[in-house]
A and B are shown apart, each in its own frame.
Chain A
Amino acid sequence: MTTQHVSVTVNGEVREADVEPRLLLVHLLRENFGLTGTHVGCDTSNCGACTVHVDGVSAKSCTMLAVQANGSTIKTIEGMANGADLHPLQQAFWDQHGLQCGFCTPGMIMQSAWLLEQNPDPSEAEIREGISGNLCRCTGYVNIVKSIQQAAQQMQAAESAPAEPAAAS
């Protein structure tokens, strides 16, 4: 079987693999790179559990070939936290009980992160529209929306706050 070489930057790290052209991006991430935070849900482009960012644009990684992403920069749920510090969206999903089983959560957070980049101060309707490609079968979305609202507020507050002094003496 003919393979093609793929080189991608995933969460800041260059990763390479030789893959069949038919390999899906989600399988490259999970099987080849061991990044199992990105989930395969429906495998039919519906549920959004596999959502990642490709060159800064949210994508369903079950509906993209690994070779299509060759040369691209990819961000997955594993790239969201800064060491032990959760991303504001991750913290907000924790605080607001934005998840129950957690299966949809990685995709939900990646889509929300993209949404907040596009629109840092979304209305509830804009949030619901923004995550309309991500299905949650546990929560009824109420707490997910609250989580995104909390994260939006915190991220905006952090954005407008003056730079922190270098170190408290």
Chain B
Amino acid sequence: MIPAAFDYVRPADLDEVLGILRDRQGEAKLLSGGYSLLPLLKLRLAQPELLVDLRDVGGLDGIVHTDDDIRIGGRVTHKRIQEDEGLARSLPIMREAAVGIGDPQVRNWGTIGGSVAHADPSSDWPAVLLALGASVVLRSAGGERVMPVRGFFLDTFVTQIEPTEVLTEVRIPHPARNGGGAYKKLERRAGDFSTVGVAVQLALSDDGRIASIGIGLTAVADAPFAATEAEKVLTDARPGNEVIQEAAAMASKQSKPVTDSHGPADYKRAMVAEMTTRAIRAALQRAGA
């Protein structure tokens, strides 16, 4: 399969990228790892006039723990997230999600910024970032804005990113004390896109209640979303089978899966409940419940 013709540039730094995006609004598409974009180009589902390769752009590849939050550069690969010991200690959910993405070659090249900006409705990072209450940093020639991921994913392949902006960084709040998280992905074959993916990050209060919880779902709607009704059920609740099942049912109800090669919609709704249950239980266990 051969993509439609396009021009290609590989700017040396971010300022040059932002200038090009400003001057060629709507014509340019950013290329990071390429493992999502190239297949789309080959299927001619995307036919940009200009590809702007971020490969030489420095300063987007850090994993930094600041006083405020944890900052992951947009060009950080899935492999680096998988191998980062600091992240694995503070947010085990990150490694758990990273190792399930594609295969080793995909993880070698694919980046978190590329994946989030691409917003495939079945990709893993959006669900995880929704559960974590993360934000994304969007930079343009005119400045920078920080936007919570809740509200960022609008539709299939559609986000709040403007054509002039680059997603430069993902910011994740430090996990709360007595925190725990888990990502549970149901896939037909190892390395496939999710049939259902559920991310949970929660924190327990000293008296054993669920002080806070984020639940992100992927592959079961036009865009990844937060299971807000399930979160409401569990917030301030004492963990137990009944309330977990109630929350799982709410998550299932809030999902809008479609019948496709991964299975019928009814099956997927049932699996949302099951995977939500498993993710909540695993997160509780990691939180020390």
A68-B31 in contact (CB<8A): yes
Interface string of A41-79 (1 = CB under 8 A from B): 001110010010000011110011101101000000000
Q: Does B26 lie at the interface of the complex (its beta carbon under 8 Å from any beta carbon of A)?
A: no
| Residues of chain B within 8 A of A133, CB atoms compared | 102-106, 191
Interface residues on A, range: 20 to 34
Q: Does A1 lie at the interface of the complex (its beta carbon under 8 Å from any beta carbon of B)?
A: yes
A51-B105 in contact (CB<8A): yes
Q: Does A121 lie at the interface of the complex (its beta carbon under 8 Å from any beta carbon of B)?
A: no
Shortest C-beta distance, A137 to chain B (Å), equals 14
Shortest C-beta distance, A117 to chain B (Å), equals 12
Interface string of B32-44 (1 = CB under 8 A from A): 0011001101100
Shortest C-beta distance, A70 to chain B (Å), equals 7
Q: Does B156 lie at the interface of the complex (its beta carbon under 8 Å from any beta carbon of A)?
A: no
Interface residues on B, range: 20 to 34
Which of B8, B35, B53 meets A45, CB within 8 Å? B35
- Number of A-B residue pairs having CB atoms within 8 Å of each other in the complex: 78
Q: Does A82 lie at the interface of the complex (its beta carbon under 8 Å from any beta carbon of B)?
A: no
Given A58-B104, A59-B108, residue A132 in contact with residue B5 (CB < 8 A): no
Shortest C-beta distance, B274 to chain A (Å), equals 24
Complex: A12 Cα to B260 Cα, angstroms: 47
A window 9-34: CB within 8 A of B:
20-22, 24
B8-A58 in contact (CB<8A): no
Complex: A4 Cα to B5 Cα, angstroms: 13
| Residues of chain B within 8 A of A20, CB atoms compared | 5
Q: Does A115 lie at the interface of the complex (its beta carbon under 8 Å from any beta carbon of B)?
A: yes
A-B residue pairs, 9 tightest by C-beta: A133-B103, A21-B8, A22-B3, A133-B105, A63-B38, A67-B8, A132-B103, A57-B108, A60-B105
